[in-house]
Amino acid sequence: MELTESRGHRLQPTDSDGSAMKFSLLIDGDSSGAASPAARYDEILREAQLADELGFYAWGCPEQHFAFPRMTTSAPDALLASVAARTERIKVRFSAITLHRYNHPLAVVERLSMLDNLSHGRAELSTARGNDVPTMHAFEIDPERTREIWEDSIRAVAHILNNQSDFGYKGPFWNIPDIGKGLAPETYQRPHPPLTVVGASPTSCAAAAERGLGIHFLDNYYGWDYIDSCVDAYHSADKNSAGIFDTPTDHIGFYVPSPLCATTKEDALRDGAVQAIPWFESILRQARLLWQQPGYEYTKAVEALESNYKDIDWMRKHTPSVLVGTPDEIIDTALRLQEAGVDELLLRVDGFNHELHMRTIELIGKHVIPAVGDAATKPAAAKTV
């Protein structure tokens, strides 16, 4: 992959750097097993450095509120900047910024551009409509308006990135006057860093493609058929038909909330259950709140898994959201996801303990990433007739 620099800016690559699945980390700052959030942040920086050394594609953290101790990244800019300063190659990604009224589109772009320059062109932005009920209550967000606010916000973000020296915008929710000034600084990557949106339904995947965005989706434990429906929706949509980005992003990432790699299946199942079971329970609690809200009724489907979720071996076969196993088992799952059309795994290696995090990152970096890359370069087997 070749990059061209011009006047201090880095152009986005136009040639793909291969079809191999990418592996990334997505960290919530889970301090439930650490002495304090400060101690957990120190661990996170060491984990990010190891991931950088071992060829992981991106490191990201979301904007999360009021979920201590499992989520402590209410101001992700600080952690992203710290990771950028301690690494050399790995992308640093907002994963994701919720586009509510407390995140003005102009301020979001300024934060992205600052990180992009600080990291010399390694910044990426993922956004979200936002579905956390306590956050919506605390910031006085009307759940019935989150979709329209996100829609106007992403159009404003696109307009600003497309017109960095003259970014005035007027929409149904945001009004940004033309002040005769440009971004300071403008983005390091040109025309702008890659942009994605978080989604959890085929409708969200199709909407992302139509708006020229990559998609980071999760299956909420619904299983492989649901994954296929989300990928199909993204690929079948009329790409960038909304025309809001001059340079669209074409990308499908799958979020894994419960990944753990061990040298034996027994260790993986035992240690993985510590995270996978309570994480599913939290998804179930959230779904029970959400399915009563307009636009989130689809989340009720997770209720059907209540009778099986404590059987980790069953769950990992049902859904790659429970990605626990040996390197060979994780390779098999990654290749199956790649065949389905996913090009990146976003792994929440968080919430266990630092030793298990480092072991998982090391095993995936040393064994899984090279094997999946090798598989991508091999010619397809000839079919017999």
Q: Looking at residue 352, which CATH number applies to its domain?
A: 3.20.20.30
Most confident of 32-41, 112-121, 293-302: 112-121
pLDDT of residue 230: 97
In a domain, 10, yes or no: no
Burial of 161 (0-12, 13-18, 19+ CB in 10 A): buried
In a domain, 46, yes or no: yes
pLDDT of residue 380: 55
In a domain, 337, yes or no: yes
Strand intervals (E) in the chain: 5-6, 9-11, 22-26, 58-61, 91-98, 123-128, 169-170, 175-176, 189-190, 195-199, 214-217, 252-256, 258-261, 322-325, 344-347
In a domain, 4, yes or no: no
pLDDT of residue 161: 97
Using pLDDT thresholds of 50, 70 and 90, give the confidence band for residue 84: very high
Q: Give me the domain span that covers residue 292.
A: 20-376
Q: What is the DSSP string of 171-220?
A: -SS-EE---S---SSPPSEES---EEEEE-SHHHHHHHHHTT-EEEE--T
Task: Identify which has the larger pLDDT, 41 or 6.
Answer: 41
The mean pLDDT of 308-325, rounded to a whole number, is 91
The answer on pLDDT for 303 being more than 80 is no
pLDDT of residue 296: 62
Per-residue pLDDT tens digits for 324-376: 999 999 999 999 999 999 999 999 999 899 999 999 999 999 999 999 999 87
In a domain, 106, yes or no: yes
Using pLDDT thresholds of 50, 70 and 90, give the confidence band for residue 16: very low
Task: Identify which has the larger pLDDT, 6 or 360.
Answer: 360
Which tokens go with 314?
Answer: 């069953």
The answer on pLDDT for 76 being more than 60 is yes
Rounded to whole angstroms, how far apart are CA atoms 126 and 137? 23
In a domain, 2, yes or no: no
In a domain, 7, yes or no: no
Global pTM? 0.87
Query: How many domains would you assign to the chain?
Result: 1
In a domain, 250, yes or no: yes
The answer on pLDDT for 311 being more than 80 is yes
pLDDT of residue 90: 98
